[in-house]
Amino acid sequence: MVWPEELPPTPEQLLENVVGCDGLLTMLSDRIDAKVMDAAGEQLRVVSNYAVGFNNIDLSAAKEHGVRVGNTPDVLTGSTADLAVTLLLAAARRVEEGSAEVREGRWGAWKPAALLGVEPEGKTVGVVGMGRIGKAFAERMVRGWNMRLLYTSRSEQEDVNESLGGRRVELDQLLAESDFISVHVALTDDTRNLLDAAAFEKMKPNAVLVNTARGEVIDQDALVEAISSKQIFAAGLDVTTPEPLPPSHPLVGLPGVIILPHIGSATDTSRCGMAEIAVDNILAGIEGRPLRCEVPLG
């Protein structure tokens, strides 16, 4: 069956509609846990996530139920890295504030200090998480603006060190020395609220923060305070907690903050590629073949 509505199913609707399914093609908004797997039945063989992330799926429950899990990495690397660059530049150059002045009829006479931003040329960029997307982003920033590169990673990335002049450092050093910081880590217990009030205190007052990873990596209350008190210069977010972010949230409309509705992979090329992999994964799982992209269950 196909869920026909524009909005995702509620947990109750999900439980009702998975009964008898051999495979599930899911979105990040669909929480797939033991209850869902039990409701589907013993014949459930595969959950194919239409995303590179899979924190919506209980991997322990999948292992216990003998259910394989697929995701869609690689095809969205470039588009997500591009959006991170877009957010960085837009936040640094105060594009949202300038556009609002035009829309609201506040575009006045030219002033030397009006809407002054910061520029990346020759500055230091810090990449939190040097995976596929982190590397693609770093490549764009270093080669495009001759930036010094710092990064965090569980292991030394020799290719990044050699080709981009990168240097692996601890998070505290990255926060203290970077003019621009971009987040590219997966959401885990270790990375939840990784950037909290203490982290913002370490950042430069001219720092621009970008997050295209997961909203929960940043303590949003701490971010509101950091922007409001000018601890940091600006932030560009493609991910928030929750999603959608309510219009009444303090981040919405806060000067210095740009928020997009989780569109990191929203290009025709990326979304079509994701669809192909997701369908390949679910068919392979049902037919007992190797998944094109399979998530290890440990």
Question: Is 65 one of the catalytic residues?
Answer: no
Which residue type does 13 have? Q
CATH architecture of residue range(s) 11-74+267-295: 3-Layer(aba) Sandwich (3.40)
Domain 76-259 has CATH 3.40.50.720: yes
Which percentage of the chain shows pLDDT scores above 90? 97
- What is the H or E stretch that residue 209 is in? strand 208-211
Question: What residue ranges do the domains of the chain occupy?
Answer: 11-74+267-295, 76-259
- Whether 213 and 188 have beta carbons less than 8 Å apart is answered as no
Instruction: Count the alpha carbons within 13 Å of 27 in the hemisphere toward its beta carbon.
Output: 12
**What does DSSP say about strands 23-26 and 46-49: parallel, antiparallel, or unpaired?**
parallel
pLDDT at residue 89 above 90?
A: yes
pLDDT band at residue 298 using 50, 70 and 90 as cut-offs:
confident
Q: Tens digit of pLDDT for each residue in 198-253?
A: 999 999 999 999 999 999 999 999 999 999 999 999 999 999 999 999 999 999 99
pLDDT at residue 16 above 90?
A: yes
Q: Is the pTM of this model over 0.85?
A: yes
Distance separating alpha carbons of residues 53 and 265, to the nearest angstrom? 12
11-74+267-295 matches 76-259 in fold: yes
